[in-house]
């Protein structure tokens, strides 16, 4: 974790030096070619407790800690047709520990209880301000010990004559899930010199998963105080949709690896309303209705209220409520029947409700924080509770340089 921190700090210092040089070189004229416009640094720390581990069939510790760092660099330029081009490159590095991972082996002595995820991304957007249109392309990659993912996206927006905007984004993700089974289901592998390797160096296979998403949006400025957005996603998944190290215990206490359908369709529909209550207060509300063909139905409602204490300092309390029904394939520990075609004891697919609340503070003086290129500084804290007894806390820091 210390290495991650030092790496991110080093990258930040190099980019800040580059930003300072470029800002001096381009201040005297209107830029046309791509120039460094913005740098964002985000760090967060997440901790979680609970006692419904899917690895142990719905019982056992769900203790998790995660330390995440993300760096995003944005370049902006205008071409010969006065179209604005934005290139955004990002990289994230997460390091997590999970107590339940030790129990992939029934002895509680698995090879690892921690992991690291690295996820670079690249996005390009071309905006024609005269026509009110934009086009975008994106590429994404994520890698961790038991999972690899590659993604592509393409999208566009078009503005209406009455202060509205339609948007469409198509995304595809192509994943490989490493087949790490619970210890009692792993075969012994032959050693090169003869004999049997008792799971010291298993040759894991993998299984594919594909996710296709079509995202539709429409936003409208209704008046000087009220803005609304309507959001619709169509999501189709194919392939191995469970995790091979999630156990399920049947009523006779024998166990198996969770078994879920190889197809899933999701349909979320959202509505966002922003109301400007004077010059100092904004009401940001959001509602989402969700349905899928695994039997889950859910509702999400949230409200965030940024309040300007001074022109350069604001506080943003927030609250989110969520409730869902259980999947058709979920049952708690030792309640599945062997005659069930599909089965899981992953409590993410159970019936529950949750509350998430907290606040953020943001500092954005016109001449930069402490007179530097640090354009804004934001700190957010959130506390999460779930009716399954899962509890978590997250604190994040966002630094923006311009």
Q: How far apart are the first and last CA of the chain?
A: 28
Token pair 């609250």: residue? 319
Domains of the chain listed by start with CATH number:
50-57+121-401 (2.40.160)
pLDDT at 9 over 60: no
- Residue in 48, 43, 26, 44 with CA at minimum distance from that of residue 35: 26
Torsion of CA 123, 124, 127, 132, to 10 degrees: -50
User: How do beta strands 84-98 and 64-78 pair?
Assistant: antiparallel
**pLDDT for the residue 65:** 97
pLDDT of residue 111: 62
Average pLDDT, whole number, for the chain? 89
pLDDT of 52-91, one tens digit each? 999 999 999 999 999 999 999 999 999 988 999 999 999 9
CA dist., res. 276 & res. 271, Å (int): 17
Q: Two tokens at 7? A: 């790496």
In whole angstroms, what is the distance from residue 100 CA to residue 107 CA? 12
Q: What is the pLDDT of residues 119-157, one digit of tens each?
A: 999 999 999 999 999 999 999 999 998 999 999 999 999
Global pTM reads: 0.88
CA 226 from centroid of its chain's CA atoms: 28
Residue 194 pLDDT > 80: no
Q: Among 5, 47, 11, 57, which residue's Cα sits nearest to residue 345?
A: 57
Name every residue whose Cβ is closer than 8 Å to that of residue 22 and which is 6 or more positions away in sequence: 35, 36
Token duo for residue 337: 């029947």
pLDDT of residue 188: 55
pLDDT on residue 367: 86
Instruction: Give the Cα separation of 119 and 234 in Å (integer).
Output: 24
- What's CA 314's distance to the chain center, in Å? 25
Check whether 192 has a pLDDT greater than 70: no
In terms of Cβ atoms closer than 10 Å to its own Cβ (0-12, 13-18, 19+), residue 65 is: middle
């Amino acid at each position: 974790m210390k290495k991650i921190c030092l790496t991110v700090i080093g990258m930040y210092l190099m980019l800040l030096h580059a930003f300072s040089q470029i800002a001096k070189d381009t201040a005297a004229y209107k830029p046309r070619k791509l120039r460094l416009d913005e740098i964002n640094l985000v760090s967060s720390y997440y901790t979680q407790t609970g006692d419904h581990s899917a690895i142990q069939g719905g019982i056992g510790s769900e203790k998790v800690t995660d330390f995440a760092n993300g760096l995003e660099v944005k370049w902006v330029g205008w071409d010969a047709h006065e179209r604005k081009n934005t290139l955004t490159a990002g990289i994230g590095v997460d390091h997590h520990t999970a107590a339940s991972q030790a129990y992939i082996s029934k002895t509680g002595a698995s090879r690892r209880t921690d992991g690291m995820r690295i996820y670079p991304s690249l996005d390009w957007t071309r905006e024609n301000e005269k026509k009110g249109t934009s086009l975008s392309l994106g590429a994404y990659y994520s890698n961790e010990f038991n999972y690899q993912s590659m993604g592509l996206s393409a999208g566009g927006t078009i503005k209406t004559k009455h202060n509205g905007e339609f948007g469409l984004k198509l995304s595809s993700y192509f994943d490989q899930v490493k087949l790490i089974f619970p210890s009692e289901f792993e075969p012994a592998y032959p050693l090169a010199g003869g004999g049997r390797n008792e799971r010291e160096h298993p040759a894991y296979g993998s299984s594919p998963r594909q996710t296709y998403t079509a995202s539709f949006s429409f936003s409208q400025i209704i008046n000087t105080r009220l803005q609304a957005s309507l959001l619709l996603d169509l999501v189709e998944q194919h392939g191995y949709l469970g995790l091979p190290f999630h156990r399920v215990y049947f009523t006779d206490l024998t166990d198996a690896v969770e078994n879920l359908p190889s197809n899933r369709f999701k349909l979320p529909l959202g509505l966002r309303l922003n109301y400007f209550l004077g010059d100092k207060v904004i009401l940001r509300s959001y509602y989402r209705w969700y349905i899928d063909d695994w039997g889950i139905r859910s509702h999400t409602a949230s409200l965030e209220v940024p309040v300007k204490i001074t022109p350069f300092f604001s506080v943003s309390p927030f609250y989110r409520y969520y409730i869902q029904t259980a999947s058709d394939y979920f049952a708690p520990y030792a309640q599945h029947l062997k005659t069930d075609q599909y089965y899981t004891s992953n409590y993410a697919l159970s019936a529950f409700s949750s509350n998430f609340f907290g606040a953020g503070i943001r500092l954005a003086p016109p001449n930069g924080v402490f007179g530097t290129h640090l354009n804004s500084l934001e700190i957010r804290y959130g506390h999460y509770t779930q009716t399954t007894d899962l509890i978590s806390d997250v604190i994040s820091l966002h630094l923006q340089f311009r």
